[in-house]
């Protein structure tokens, strides 16, 4: 099976992605992750203004199969949370790289470091 892995993002080994635009990182989980989880029924996210540290847990995603922790691919301050996920968590299944995004973070450092995987490296991991 082939999963969508957009080139314009960076990935954590734990299946979160970040897309950086003008100092803001938009974060979600990958197509592979949503497929593994199955039907997502609940997403717990931080509040706007919360501080995140790269690699630390920022929330939880719950599916009919499992509960999984979410880890931040970047450090910074939460500037937006996708409130749509409260009432329609299945957006993460339907469009993990679009409408199913989870939060936006004002980056504390534009240098994302070496912990993140390129699209090619992430593809190699999930094959």
3-state secondary structure labels for all residues of 28-90: EECHHHHHHHCCEEEEECCCCCCEECCCCEEEEEEECCCEEEEECCCCEEEEEECCHHHHCCC
Per cent of the chain over pLDDT 90 is 93
Could you state, in order of their start, the residue ranges of all structural domains in the chain? Answer: 10-108
Q: Quick one: fold of 10-108?
A: OB fold (Dihydrolipoamide Acetyltransferase, E2P) (2.40.50)
The pLDDT value given to residue 110: 74
Q: Quick one: pLDDT band at residue 16, thresholds 50, 70, 90?
A: very high
Rounded to whole angstroms, the Cα distance separating 46 from 35 reads 23
Phi/psi of residue 23, nearest 5 degrees: 80, 5
The pTM for the full model equals: 0.95
The pLDDT value given to residue 111: 76
The pLDDT value given to residue 65: 92
Rounded to whole angstroms, the Cα distance separating 62 from 42 reads 5
């Amino acid at each position: 099976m082939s999963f969508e892995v957009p080139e314009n993002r960076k990935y954590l080994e734990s299946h979160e992605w970040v897309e950086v635009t003008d100092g803001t990182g938009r974060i979600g989980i990958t197509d592979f992750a949503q497929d593994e989880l199955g039907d997502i029924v609940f997403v717990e996210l931080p509040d706007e203004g919360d501080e995140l540290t790269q690699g630390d847990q920022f929330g939880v995603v719950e599916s009919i199969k499992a509960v999984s922790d979410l880890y931040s691919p970047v450090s910074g301050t939460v500037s937006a949370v996708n409130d749509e996920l409260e009432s329609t968590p299945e957006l993460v299944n339907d469009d993990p790289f679009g409408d199913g995004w989870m939060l936006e973070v004002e980056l504390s450092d534009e240098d994302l470091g070496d912990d993140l995987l390129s699209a090619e490296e992430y593809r190699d991991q999930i094959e």
